[in-house]
A and B are shown apart, each in its own frame.
Chain A
Amino acid sequence: QSVLTQPPSASGTPGQRVTISCSGSSSNIGSNYVLWYQQVPETAPKVLIYRNNQRPSGVPDRFSGSKSGTSASLAISGLRSEDETDYYCAAWDDSLSGWVFGGGTKLTVL
């Protein structure tokens, strides 16, 4: 059971905009930055969004992050076939004194 809650799956058609939610609590998302990682199967995760809404260099601006209270969202606009993979949210948890992750969302591009 993951500390952060994500929907197990999401889907969209090419060109569409999809959002993936991540719900937490006051000890993690409510008081700390949210990260989003993208993981292609059989490879290590890669950071997509840091500090709630910042993109590392090289990440397309089709990816955006937001946070409100104890929830966060990852939005992907102009959906492309190569976006079909797994996405994880993460945050530092003050109560656990450790990093917590969401259970992951598998994105399907129809």
Chain B
Amino acid sequence: QAQLVQSGAEVKKPGASVKVSCKTSGYTFIRYYMHWVRQAPGQGLEWMGTMNPSGGGATYAQRLQGRVTMTRDTSTSTVYMELSSLRSEDTAVYYCARAYSATTIPSENWFDPWGQGTLVTVSS
């Protein structure tokens, strides 16, 4: 059974960077795209981007372009999301979420399973 386990909570100062990890198990790592979704306190869900663990290529949400980087380590079946130039509005729970199907057509997919979430707090 596929499982995603994320790294622990982080507190960062404005302007700093944060790197969240998502360790996977229970499936063939390189077969399924991985997504990152965040949720600010009391707010809705926001898709941040996706990466292909096979080749390492990533696509990012337009509003986060230039600040977000998604990478992976195939030897440990772990994906990473780094967000730079942090501001208070980046305070949120960050989730990794695997594409349910191995299809490369994004519109025909959905997110399942999800990691447990990582709270990132940006405060001076």
Contacts and interface: CB of A to CB of B under 8 A. Distances in A.
Interface residues of B, number: 23
A71 to B, nearest CB: 17
Interface string B11-35: 0000000000000000000000001
Sorting the interface of chain A by its residue count into under 10, 10 to 19, 20 to 34 or 35 or more gives: 20 to 34
Contact of A104 (B37, B44, B108, B111): B44
A2 B62 CA distance: 14
A11 to B, nearest CB: 19
Contacts of B95: 44-45
Interface in B78-119: 95, 97, 100, 106-108, 110-112, 114-117
A96 B62 CA distance: 7
A29 B26 CA distance: 33
A56 B62 contact: no
Nearest to B62: A96
B114 A44 contact: yes
A58 to B, nearest CB: 11
A48 B109 CA distance: 13
Contact of A92 (B44, B107, B114): B107
A42 to B, nearest CB: 8
Contact of B47 (A51, A56, A101): A101
A99 B115 contact: no
B44 A102 contact: yes
Interface of A: 2, 32-33, 35, 37, 39, 44-47, 50-51, 56, 88, 90-92, 94, 96-104
